[in-house]
Amino acid sequence: MNVPSYSSQDAPVPVGQIVIERAITPLDLGPRFNRTAADVVRFMMQQGEMVTATQSLSDELIEAFANDLGADIKIVNPGEEQEVELRKMLGFDDDDVEDDDVDEDAEGAPLRPPVITVMGHVDHGKTKLLDRIRNANVVDGEAGGITQHIGAYQTERNGALLTFIDTPGHEAFTAMRSRGAQATDIVILVVAADDGVMPQTIEALNHAKAAEVPIVVAVNKIDRENANPQRVLTQLTEYDLIPESFGGDTIVQEISALQDIGIDELLDQLLVVSELAELRADPDDRAQGVVLESNLDIGRGPVATVLVQTGTLKVGDPMVSGAAWGRVRALINDRGESVKVAGPSTPVQVLGLSEVAEAGDEFVIAPSEKVASKVADTREHWQRQSSLGRDAAATSGGARLEDIFEQIQRGEAAKLNLIIKADVNGSLEAVTDSLRKLETPEVSPTFVHRGVGGITENDISLAGASNATIIGFNVRPDRKAREMAEAEHVEIRTYEIIYKLLEDIESAMVGMLAPEFEEVVTGDAEVREIFSVPRIGKIAGCYVQNGVITRGSKVRFIREGTIIWKGDIKSLRRFKEDAREVAAGYECGIGLSDFQDLKEGDIIETYEEREIERSIS
Ligand code: GDP
């Protein structure tokens, strides 16, 4: 490495905030401050840190260097530095690329409706509850209260509005969060009174807790004969949800989504929680929010359902979301009506974007159409570049589900190539994110392609070319695609329930994973005498101190506490006879494979490798 030896220590440091990528090397860091790599290395040495010019630096070291120069820096993850620049272009002078809390600056702004997500175990009644609320309490409108499924809806209770995200379950919630978007203010945890707390109940409450979102428990199906709400309450206490009736502060409402019992009370409870949370947003701000759903509509083009989180979105606004941009052509509310504006906490469909936006992406209103298009184009450029990189990685040496086991057996870290097709963008994101989490050091899912829509011949040919398995979520292959898949031996798996999908892939992956071993000591013997046997070599006359010494077992040879050799027992004799095993308290002769340097007092320790049960957690 060529580290310039001259110093530039007197050069002025650039003014203003300098954006630095995390884990930068001195070679790249120096020039940002008009310094050389050598300056950086020298500084690190003065701090007692020996680093080379090409070694990654910790955040602390980067900060120390910047502080020393009196420079203002911001450390971001690789790739994010461009995003910071784009935010500046969009007119945000803030530091909060990672900070999704748009409420922060809203002190003194008017209250806004709460945004609520329904979670819980499968079949506990999440969908029924969402339907019940939607149909019973829809905001009265000219369309006669008929709602459209646009991914979220608003309902009214005693003059107050509540916004519900229309995708039940925690997968979508988590997918959003993993993209840095937090759309939800309150979680309703639905637990069926006849079934109690189940695995997904626990998952859901953990997700809500991780997001620090208040939880309101709805004990559902209380109309059922075998309903036992009290048992649910007791179970919940195990997860730190202490119901008010038990002296805690968790709000619990007994309901029957089927028979419309307790629904209004549940809404009242939600309003109480919302009031306590003091959710505020300034309707006069430039609109910002998050994309909940998006799809390509024949006739209308790309359609995105967005949740406005702050500000007011208006027809004609220049919007940008990820690589999609456009002047808002029309806004359609949850009743299918065309509206001109949408304020905080309002879900609304947006028409006029250049392409299908990604669920979970933030949207903002740009200062001008020109800026919107520039930002979107820049993002698209990076996305293409990084996806080219990904595709190249995916097609080189990836494997399909059925071949991956061999790859692992060869001791290679295996890539599981997948093509994901789903019905809508939201579920596509949810499936992808959940699959990503299954990654282990041995197997990593790689996405060759992800898309919305049915499984087509294009997908099959791509799968064939890249050794991929096709996963369909709420979509199926057409007949032609199926025939082609059979001919080309492409595997297609289709699912309707996300946890079934994950369960399948996960168990396949556990089955595929190379077993992991732990070493268990089985016995030890002390060397007391050394015999030389012609043509065989040295034999250790031993006394078995602990456990059992078994022929063929693995050995660590220990001298004064240090392992000096590892191998296995070649021969084991008691008196003149071959023995299969010798227990503690007996003497024996031990011959070791190719190890001859025996000394009195050495210890021969035998051990076994036992397989540890694997699971992916
Ligand atoms: P999800 O998987 O959590 O969305 O559950 P669904 O809303 O699809 O409900 C699962 C099943 O439970 C459906 O057959 C519903 O009709 C039924 N169900 C939902 N709520 C109630 C209820 O309050 N009482 C009874 N008896 N059945 C219910």
> Do residue 455 and residue 558 come from a single domain?
no
How far does the centroid of ligand 1 lie from the alpha carbon of residue 123, in Å?
6
Residue nearest to atom 18 of ligand 1 (CA): 125
Last residue of a domain, one of 512, 544, 575: 512
pLDDT for the residue numbered 93: 65
Give the C-alpha distances (Å, rounded to integers) separating 250 from 213, 253, 261, 510, 599. 12, 10, 20, 37, 69
pLDDT of residue 97: 42
CATH number for the domain harbouring residue 182: 3.40.50.300
- 373: CATH: 2.40.30.10
pLDDT in the model for residue 436: 86
> Is 379 found in the same domain as 411?
no
Integer-rounded Cα Rg, in Å, for the chain is: 32
The rounded Å distance from CA 353 to ligand 1 centre is 37
The pLDDT value recorded for residue 396 is 36
Q: Which helix (H) or strand (E) holds 572?
A: strand 562-574
Backbone φ and ψ for 184, nearest 5 degrees, come out as -100, 135
The residue whose CA is least distant from atom 25 of ligand 1 is 221
| Together in a domain, 49 and 184 | no
**Structural domain count, the chain:** 5
Whether 525 and 553 share a structural domain? yes
* 359 domain-assigned: yes
Residue 91 included in any domain:
no
Give, using CA atoms, the residue closest to atom 17 of ligand 1: 125
Last residue of a domain, one of 460, 483, 512: 512
**CA of residue 127 to ligand 1 center, whole Å:** 7
Looking at the structure, do residues 508 and 523 belong to the same domain, yes or no? no
Bridge partners of 138?
Answer: 155
For residue 125, tell me if it sits in a domain: yes
The boundaries of the domain holding residue 481 are 401-512
One-letter amino acid at 333 equals N
CATH number of the domain within which 449 lies:
3.40.50.10050
Q: Determine the Cα–Cα distance for residues 549 and 557; give it in Å rounded to an integer.
A: 13
Tell me which of 228, 256, 277 is where a domain ends. Answer: 277
Contact at 8 Å (CB) between 611 and 515?
yes
User: Can you give the pTM of this predicted structure?
Assistant: 0.57
Cβ proximity of 455 and 470 under 8 Å: yes
Residues 267, 124, single domain; the answer is yes
Residue 4 located in a structural domain: no
- Distance, in Å, from the CA atom of 552 to the CA atom of 24, rounded to the nearest integer, reads 51
User: Tokens in use for 73?
Assistant: 């820096």
117, 123, 135, 223: which to mutate for ligand 1, most atoms within 8 A of CB? 123
What's phi and psi for 240, nearest 5 deg?
65, 20
Residues 53 and 128 in one domain: no
438 and 487 assigned to the same domain: yes
Question: Distance (Å, rounded) from C-alpha 322 to C-alpha 335?
Answer: 27
Whether 406 is covered by a domain: the verdict is: yes
Residues 272 and 185 in one domain: yes
The residue whose CA is least distant from atom 6 of ligand 1 is: 125
Q: Are 616 and 551 in contact (CB under 8 A)?
A: no
- Say yes or no: 270 and 123 in one domain: yes
- Positions in the chain whose pLDDT score sits under 70: 1-10, 77-81, 93-106, 136-148, 171, 174-175, 178-180, 383-414, 465-466, 507-519, 561-563, 611-617
Residue 99 maps to a domain: no
How are beta strands 562-574 and 554-559 bridged, if at all? antiparallel
- Give the model's pLDDT for residue 454: 79
Q: Which residues contact 412 (CB under 8 A, 6 or more apart)?
A: 397
The pLDDT score that the predictor gives to residue 137 is 53
Distance 241 CA to ligand 1 centre (A): 23
Are residues 131 and 233 both part of a single domain?
Answer: yes
- 470 in any annotated domain: yes
Over the stretch 128-183, which tens digit does the pLDDT of each residue have? Answer: 999 999 876 554 443 444 556 778 999 999 999 999 998 777 767 766 776 667 88
Q: Interhelix angle for 369-395 vs 80-89, to 10°? A: 170
Measured CA distances, 445 to 82, 399, 418, 431 (Å): 27, 10, 7, 12
Residues 537 and 507 in one domain: no
On whether residue 395 sits in a domain, the answer given is: no
Ligand 1 pocket test, pick from 167, 200, 258, 500 with the greatest ligand atom count within 8 Å of Cβ, gives 258
| Distance from the alpha carbon of residue 256 to the mean position of ligand 1, in angstroms | 9
Q: Name all residues whose Cβ lies below 6 A of ligand 1.
A: 120, 122-128, 168, 220-221, 223-224, 256-258
Cα(88) to centroid of ligand 1, in Å?
A: 48
The CA 220 to ligand 1 mean position distance, Å, reads 8
Nearest to 201 by CA among 614, 609, 499, 617: 499
